[in-house]
Structure 1
């Protein structure tokens, strides 16, 4: 097995030489969501580096850190490619529900599209706690997972041609927009990814360059840690604790091994 596969499986708790098929992707995605956190600590600490396969392996699989969408999904894209899947990276714009509009930072969400038996699917391991946990077909079919219901709707917009919609378990009663993406404009090289990283680092309206954030899914919900709060969702029940920086460091180590 190649280095990436072996390290990835070790990180998420799978057999290092296990062969991955389409049918096993849901299990891989769930394990990934529970073991590799979505986090922005390097952005906050001003310690980012170029987005390359080698740097992502070092950061996420050898140093056991997490990352944002352009890191987590790019690493998973490389993992899919090494396992024989026909995958591409695509960019999108996240919907800001409080403002009722797409975010002003623009096309900074990175996601994955892949082809299986003449059907195109979306996979996302880098959308915070809003992860489908299964491949979502672009055909519009609704998929259900431990994290809720997800579907993709065809649209005609200058921002993209498809929208990911979601109804999160224990949180949503109506469908809501996750993000819009463009299947016709794949990300072709690392320069695009590094541009996205720079925007997220520097844009005044970026939500990831102001305060630390770490989140991951659990067996029965999710946990989210900032420098001021620790929030836990357990079987639909939420608890929120106010914390200080010392407690932040303790909880980051306890719950995220960071």
Structure 2
């Protein structure tokens, strides 16, 4: 067993000697969503590194940090390959609901396309609190998970040929757009994620280069912390509190196992 395979299993709490089938992916995705946070601390602290297989292993599996989509889905993609799955990466454009438009920074979402028995699915562990937690087929079938309902419809226009839609549990009553993606423009080398990282780090309209953020799913919902607030969803009930820097550091350690390197 490779280093990546063994360390990934250890990080999410998966037995080392257990083969993974397609039917096991739901369990893998749930464990990953709860164990590895979606967070941008390395960007805020200006300590990003080039995206390689080795740097992803070191950051996420050795140092036990989290990351953004181009890191989380890249490491999961590599893990899936190690376990015999037919998978590629692709880039998507996220929809901004406050503006009712796709984000102007471009195709900065990286997701996974996995093919099983001649059917293609989206597999995504890098979309913050909006994770399907199950493979979502491109056929349009609705998939229900503990995080809500998800489906993929045919896309229109230049943003991509497919669109992920979602109805998050306890939050949405109608379908809303997650992101559009192009199933024909695939990525097989994680180094191509560096182009995404550059936009996220440098673009003035990037949502991830201004304030620290960490979020992950929990058994009852999710926890999210920024430098000014702490939000906890538990069984459909939300609790939110304003926090200061000291409390931010405490919560970051308590709920995510992360530490601020710069003061």
Normalising by the residue count of structure 1, what TM-score does the alignment of the two structures yield?
A: 0.99
**1:141-197: per-residue Cα shift (whole Å, max 9, x none)?**
000000000000012321100000000000000000000000010124344311110
Alignment of structure 1 residues 1-258 onto 2, 5 Å: 1-258=1-258
**1:34-57: per-residue Cα shift (whole Å, max 9, x none)?**
000000000000000011111001
Question: How many Å separate the matches in 1 of 2:191 and 2:134?
Answer: 28
Query: How many residues of Structure 1 are paired with residues of Structure 2 in the alignment?
Result: 258
**1:72-123: per-residue Cα shift (whole Å, max 9, x none)?**
0000000010000010000000000001100011100000001100000000
SS in 2 for 1:126: coil
User: How far apart are 1:214 and its partner, in Å?
Assistant: 0.1
The answer to whether the 8 Å contact 1:6/1:17 transfers is no
Question: How many Å separate the matches in 1 of 2:181 and 2:243?
Answer: 36
SS in 1 for 2:155: strand
* Further displaced range: 8-17 or 50-59: 8-17
Unpaired runs of 5+ residues, structure 1, are none
Question: How many Å separate the matches in 1 of 2:247 and 2:98?
Answer: 29
Question: How many Å separate the matches in 1 of 2:156 and 2:211?
Answer: 35
Segments of 4+ moved more than 6 angstroms = none
User: How far apart are 1:17 and its partner, in Å?
Assistant: 2.2
Question: How many Å separate the matches in 1 of 2:188 and 2:93?
Answer: 18
The answer to whether the 8 Å contact 2:142/2:151 transfers is yes
Question: How many Å separate the matches in 1 of 2:130 and 2:41?
Answer: 19
User: How far apart are 1:15 and its partner, in Å?
Assistant: 1.1
